[in-house]
Amino acid sequence: FPEMLSNPKLVLVQGSLDVVTKQNVTLCCRPGSGSAPVRYTLFRHSQQVSSLNSSHLAPVLFNLTISSASDVGTYKCKAEYNTSSDGKYSNSLHFTLTEPISKPVLSSPTSQAKKGQNVTLSCFSENGSLPITYMFFKGNQSISTQKTMQKREAAVIFLFVNSSTDSGSYKCKASNSFPNGTKYSNSFSFTLAEERSHSLALIIFLGLILLLLVIGFALAIPFFIIPSYKASE
């Protein structure tokens, strides 16, 4: 009678558990105690992926290519004798797919700001594997610490607009665990509404002065210009 099998061990010998599409990985199913020959079957969740026979109770290798999100998940291997339906299962290995992020979008509820006003800047990447880390910049200078979002939501900072220099060009960048996947957003600039109101107020003020001069000149005609004209006759 064959010796009773013990649970095999499933180990990763090539690649990583965080994978990208079209990445090759190799899993090794190592036997425990037992007798040869043994059949090893690799499962993803409860679906059979591949099966190999070992005639010397030696480790077997399963070579996989991660082509899409359907190829990731929890893997196990099963060891069993050909003459028996009773097998032993290994530990689990869980693969997660790392996807590149999309270009982040930098936005604000308002494009105009007054001096002394707090404004909000939001940075958001619609696609990409979580977590995603965001940073905000004004020109080439960082204006925030790294903000790592574990959920599909925007990173937000608050700015205090104190002068015209605070309306300059802003950007944000987003990155995740995808290799060399950092991406920068569009540029965003505020318009200082206070400066526009000053210019408008000055125009209105000068217009009022001009209007008052015209009215004053019109009122002065009956009292000064017409009497002096008649006196000269």
In this structure, is residue 203 part of a structural domain?
no
DSSP per-residue string spanning 101-154 = PPPPEEE-S-SEE-TTEEEEEEEE-SSSPSPEEEEEEETTEE-S--EEESSS--
Which of 97, 114, 147 is the last residue before a domain boundary?
97
Residue 215 has a pLDDT of 82
pTM over 0.75: no
Same domain, 122 and 86: no
Cα separation, 85 vs 26, whole angstroms: 26
Same domain, 145 and 186: yes
pLDDT at 185 over 90: yes
| Count of structural domains, the chain | 2
pLDDT tens, 202-212?
A: 788 788 888 88
Which of 81, 97, 113 is the last residue before a domain boundary?
97
* CATH code of the domain containing 50: 2.60.40.10
Q: Give the model's confidence band at 197: pLDDT under 50 very low, under 70 low, under 90 confident, else very high.
A: very low
Phi, psi torsion values for 7, nearest 5 degrees: -65, 130
Same domain, 23 and 42: yes
Same domain, 177 and 109: yes
Share of the chain above pLDDT 70, in %: 90
The stretch 192-213 carries a mean pLDDT of 72
Residue 52 has a pLDDT of 92
Same domain, 136 and 177: yes
The stretch 17-32 carries a mean pLDDT of 90
Residue 72 has a pLDDT of 93
Residue 85 has a pLDDT of 64
* Domain span including residue 65: 9-97
Q: Give the model's confidence band at 145: pLDDT under 50 very low, under 70 low, under 90 confident, else very high.
A: very high
In this structure, is residue 182 part of a structural domain?
yes
